[in-house]
Structure 1
Amino acid sequence: MKFLITTPRGLEGTAANYIKEKIKDADVWITPMGYAGLVLVKTKENCEKQLKEIPEVERVIPVMFEVPAKLDEILSTAKNISKHINETETFSVETTRRGKHEFTSMDVNIKLGRKIEELTGADVNLTLPDKKVLVEIIGDKAYISVIEREKWKKYTPEKPDARSLLKKITIVQLPYWGDYKVCRKMGEKIGRAAQAFEIKELIISPKEKMDAYELMEFIRGVKKGQRSRYLIQKDAYPWDVRKIPVSVWDLYQVIRDKRRKNRTIIITDPLGDIVSNVKNKLKKDLKFSKEIIVFIGSREGIPRGLFDLADYVLDLTPHMTFATEQGIPAILILLWHLYESS
């Protein structure tokens, strides 16, 4: 029996050594055709369970059909594949192509999927199928498998969507000041974090007059950090991603703004209350507020004159002060878990 093993790049040899130790009759081919992160294993018996016990092994794909890497040969397996998919089940075809061929991965997905659909009467489900047909092409060979729904999955109906809360949150961030290079680097971290959580808006809010060039470098950093994260999101997510709005507004005018109705204002500061003392009321406000506005300091905290105008002043980590760039992830992850807690 053959297995296609995936590993982190650079750990193919380590995984192979452990496979040989664990399975004495294993015939192992490391980085077949020079493709990193892959190990082909041939054994006399089914040893899938033993392979999954090796931490360096990320994925174990039992090879059910092996054919030449030609489109008609791959399509010829449809009849045998269909024996493993019931009419009441959903399926998808996922092709990973390594090497040069006269067809694309999408050609395989569409044409093989259509044949399986005709033979089984099963429906295609690209999001969360009951069965997944894997076509792993390595050079002149195609290795095909039918696997059950995988245990580890990013997007499932059972998981709530964190964006339901995050899209209501506006972050008001004091800009970092000082050395130009440090301002820019800190801005990158802030921009990346804000974009990563897809919040409603990021407002950069000086609390007083500050050096224009220091602010300029901070904003340049925010733009760079936001763009780098946005490009990753575009490639990684199966949905459209937007760049969050970024604006500049005086800190005191943000908290004075009366146009924002049904809002909850949160200030993060070591002088504040611990979350466990206010969690029940805060959780209710998170659910019913149209907007949650969070003020985060930078080098210095939020001025105390704003405290009485806020709904909550929270000390996220009592007896500890975290770095400026940790403010956004810390408060947003905390609010999300509170929002979803029972």
Structure 2
Amino acid sequence: MDRVDIIVTCRLGMEKIVASYIKDIETGVEILPAPFNFMGLILVAGSRDRYRLADEIKRSVPEVEKIYIVDAIAKSDIQSIVDAVKRVVQGAINPNESFAVRTVRRGRHSFTSIDVNIAVGSIVKDVTGARVDLDNPDKVVFIQIIQDYAYISIVPGKEIIRKMKPYKFPMYKLFRRFVVVHEPYLGPEDASYTMGVRIGREVQTYEVGELVVAPIGSVDAYSMYHFLRGLFEGIESRYDIQRKSYGREVHRVRVSIQDMYQFIRSHMGEPIIVFEPEGEPISKLANEVSEFIVKSVKAGKKIYMMIGAREGIPTGLFRYASYVLDIAPGIVISTDYALASALIAITTVLHEKLSLEREEIEKTLDTS
């Protein structure tokens, strides 16, 4: 379509439903759901007041995820897009503001989205004098290319939903300094294997630095084999997903085995946190624990987190722990959720402090 007022996105398969709701808001508009069979997309044209219509859609159609008011339309070649952007950014982006360019292509073209971003970013900078900020821009020049046409929208940066906001600390950087000491779940073949898979996916999800499988004394080798088989399958399956979908380097969790008592003997005096119901509520010691972890990290130390399974961490080892913490008083957490629960609890008590000291801590983590 060479005349579009608004572009709307929704969950795949809901295009016609959303289109019908928009028609109820303003009769007479032309609506094209799933243009060229591109699912999750609706084009709206012929509105009497595109701004009023966009506001009304935001208020009354929860099925809609994103709404873009189209400020300019161009042919789907880079020079035409640059020329159109040059016209619309004047006065829309001020010299004292920051901006970013986002391009989404649908269909086949002789150029990439990155090619468009570079060309458009250069002209926006030249025309407006604004600076580029890819992480937290004041304005975003959003370009949606659909087959033969490019639709250009200038969107306030605050309207772009991000997973990582500037005040959020990337916890995976800290978790790489954690060593999880986990008692293996040993029992029937299928149970050991299944629990191994779940724990493997857990440790890889959080990208902890290392997992130490720590049996207590002599254990059945056959059960341990099936636990380890599941563990490595869980790690690999999650790692493959992360590597394909994350826009950053992913750490594959290292795995070692050491008897739990020998592990304690090897690490006496180091930062050790045991998670067991006999401990103090983590909420009671939140400030103290967060200070302890941050201080240890700044000193270049690893944090050892001990998680039990069927037997739990032997109480005699509590004497050698820096802290023994209960993350859910009165609740018995199953083995496959124990580690995730512990790491989420640690994140909750730590995150604010990490955010306040982000620059210093990230520098320590990146150089260690």
Asked if these proteins are the same fold (TM beyond 0.5), I'd say yes
Which of residues 211, 218, 222 is equivalent to 1:209? 218
Q: Where does structure 1 lack aligned partners over 5 or more consecutive residues?
A: none
Q: 2:274 aligns with which of 239, 256, 267?
A: 267
* Counterpart residue number, 2:348: 337
Classify 1:277/1:23 alpha carbon distance in 2 versus 1 (closer, same or farther; 3 Å).
Answer: same
Structure 1 position 195, deviation (Å) = 1.9
- Inter-partner Cα distance in structure 2 for 1:86 and 1:237: 33
Greater Cα shift, 101-110 or 207-216: 207-216
The equivalent residue for 1:17 is: 20
Taking structure 1 as the reference length, the TM-score comes to 0.90
Alignment of 1:127-276 (within 5 A): 127-151=135-159, 152-163=161-172, 165-258=174-267, 263-276=270-283
What is the match of residue 315 of structure 1? 326
Unaligned 5+ runs, structure 2: 354-368
2:158 is paired with a residue of what secondary structure? Answer: coil
Q: Indicate the SS of the match to 2:142.
A: strand
SS in 2 for 1:154: coil
- Paired with 2:240 and 2:88, the residues of 1 have a C-alpha distance of 37
1:70 aligned to which of 57, 74, 77: 77
Q: Could you tell me how far apart the structure 1 residues matched to 2:42 and 2:220 are?
A: 57
- Comparing 143-152 with 18-27, greater Cα deviation is found at 18-27
Identity %: 36
State which drifts further: 314-323 or 155-164: 155-164
User: How has the CA–CA distance of structure 1 residues 244 and 120 changed in structure 2, closer, same or farther, with 3 Å as cutoff?
Assistant: same
Superposed displacement of residue 111, structure 1: 1.8
Aligned residue number for residue 287 of structure 1: 294
Task: Say yes or no: does 1:44 pair with 2:48.
Answer: yes
Q: Quote the offset at 1:131 in angstroms.
A: 1.5
Q: 1:120 aligns with which of 125, 128, 151?
A: 128
Number of matched pairs:
340
Q: Match for residue 102 of structure 1? A: 110
Please state how far the C-alpha of 1:97 moved relative to its aligned partner.
0.9
Alpha-carbon deviation of 1:339? 1.9
Structure 2 CA distance for aligned equivalents of residues 14 and 220 of structure 1:
46
Which of 273, 288, 300 is 2:311 aligned to?
300
RMSD of aligned Cα (Å): 2.2
SS in 2 for 1:100: coil
Residue 33 of structure 2: aligned partner: 30
Q: Is the 8 A contact 1:81 1:116 kept in 2?
A: no
> Which whole-Å CA distance do the structure 1 matches of 2:150 and 2:17 have between them?
25
CA distance in 1, matches of 2:235, 2:248: 18
Determine the C-alpha separation between the residues in 1 that align with 2:158 and 2:30. 26
Contact 1:200/1:245, CA 8 A, preserved across alignment: yes
Describe the superposition over 1:102-130 as per-residue Cα deviations: whole angstroms up to 9, x where unpaired: 22212211222222222223222222222
Structure 2 counterpart of 1:57, which letter?
Answer: V
3-state SS, counterpart of residue 277 of structure 1: coil
Is the Cα contact below 8 Å between 2:85 and 2:152 reproduced in 1?
Answer: no
Q: Structure 2: how far apart are the matches of 1:277 and 1:155?
A: 29
Match of 2:339 among 307, 325, 328: 328
Q: Does 209-218 or 318-327 show the bigger shift?
A: 209-218
CA distance in 1, matches of 2:305, 2:102: 42
Residues 341 and 74 of structure 1: is their aligned pair in 2 closer, same or farther, counting only changes over 3 Å?
Answer: closer
Question: Relative to structure 2, which stretch is displaced further, 220-229 or 167-176?
Answer: 220-229
